[in-house]
Amino acid sequence: MLTKRLAECQELRAQVMEVKALPGMGTTIDVILINGRLKEGDTIIVPGVEGPIVTQIRGLLLPPPMKELRVKDELIHELKQTLNAIKLEEKGVYVQASTLGSLEALLEFLKTSEVPYSGINIGPVHKKDVMKASVMLEHDPQYAVILAFDVRIERDAQEMADSLGVRIFSAEIIYHLFDAFTKYRQDYKKQKQEEFNFFIVLQFVEIGIVTSIEVNHKPVEVAKKGQEVCVKIEPIPGESPKMYGRHFEATDILVSKISRQSIDALKDWFRDEMQKSDWQLIVELKKVFEII
């Protein structure tokens, strides 16, 4: 079936890939032949900086069989070695660039600007890159960001980023990319300041221990975000009861008093029950209670 759809075309069509000078041979050009034929003695015209260049083919050279594959494997191995040699931080943004040179330029700029990076890659942004960047949602959400420098963002990768809460910033100029990320960090900081301002303004009051939770007059073990529940709080043993209207109000924000021991217990025994949003809250509370 395919042979019926193929047709031989004698009209010459070729793509010049590179012009270089080889010792003992002079100026040579690497060409990909698409249609037609080339032979020694043919007169060809190729575009030049100062206008068309007319010349004759003095010789044709073909690469050794499988040379392209061997060179490709060597380049891939060299690229992986170079990427693995780049020092990464435990917490930081995920950086994506079109070429190794572009990546190194952006990393140097970020280093000078004191922006940490925890992951790097070359080429279009795929879903696997979004998954790697999403790890920061559990460690430090402000760095759940991909800085995409002069690369394409696949549609399914953008959709995954939107659903997970990973921000992708894309630009063809380093300064534009950095400006967008800087504004994001400023907005993020302002949001967190407003969100946790009550921790700074108000003094902590330990009102008691949650002993039971009810939903629609039925006892439950766990209350999820968005549920309206009735909570029974009993006094801390050995302390005088805290009075509603005197020590706390209905408008006050209640938070669980966590500790290093309780966080370790969550990791060891309740990891499967925890959602990403739960870990994000734990990260913020660690900062509030100054837990290392």
- The pLDDT tens digits of the residues spanning 82-105 come to 677 788 899 999 999 888 888 888
Residue 202: the pLDDT is: 46
Residue 59: the pLDDT is: 85
- In 208-261, DSSP assigns E strands to 209-215, 218-220, 230-234
Alpha carbon distance 77, 81 (integer Å): 6
Quote the CATH superfamily of domain 71-195.
Translation initiation factor IF- 2, domain 3 (3.40.50.10050)
Q: Please choose, from the candidates 206, 250, 213, 257, the residue with its C-alpha nearest in 3D space to the C-alpha of residue 231.
A: 213
Quote the CATH superfamily of domain 201-288.
Translation factors (2.40.30.10)
**DSSP class per residue in 190-215:** HHHHHHTHHHHHSPP----EEEEEEE
The answer to whether the CB of 147 falls within 8 A of the CB of 177 is: yes
- In the chain, DSSP assigns E strands to 13-22, 26-35, 43-46, 53-56, 93-97, 117-122, 145-149, 167-171, 209-215, 218-220, 230-234
Domain boundaries, given as residue ranges, for the chain:
8-56, 71-195, 201-288
Output phi, psi for 171, to 5 deg: -160, 160
What CATH number belongs to 8-56? 2.40.30.10
pLDDT band at 53 (very low <50, low <70, confident <90, very high): confident
The stretch 264-291 carries a mean pLDDT of: 85
Residue 92: the pLDDT is: 93
| Residue 181 CB coordination number (10 Å) | 19
Residue 4: the pLDDT is: 56
Question: What's the whole-number average pLDDT of the chain?
Answer: 83
The stretch 5-25 carries a mean pLDDT of: 71
Asked, colleague to colleague, whether 8-56 and 201-288 share their fold, the answer is: yes
The stretch 156-170 carries a mean pLDDT of: 95
Alpha carbon distance 197, 99 (integer Å): 43
For 242-267, give one letter per residue: b (16+ CB within 10 A) or e: eeeeeebeeeeeeeeebeeeebeebe
User: What is the DSSP pairing of strand 145-149 with strand 93-97?
Assistant: parallel
**Percentage of the residues of the chain whose pLDDT score is greater than 90:** 25
The stretch 169-176 carries a mean pLDDT of: 92
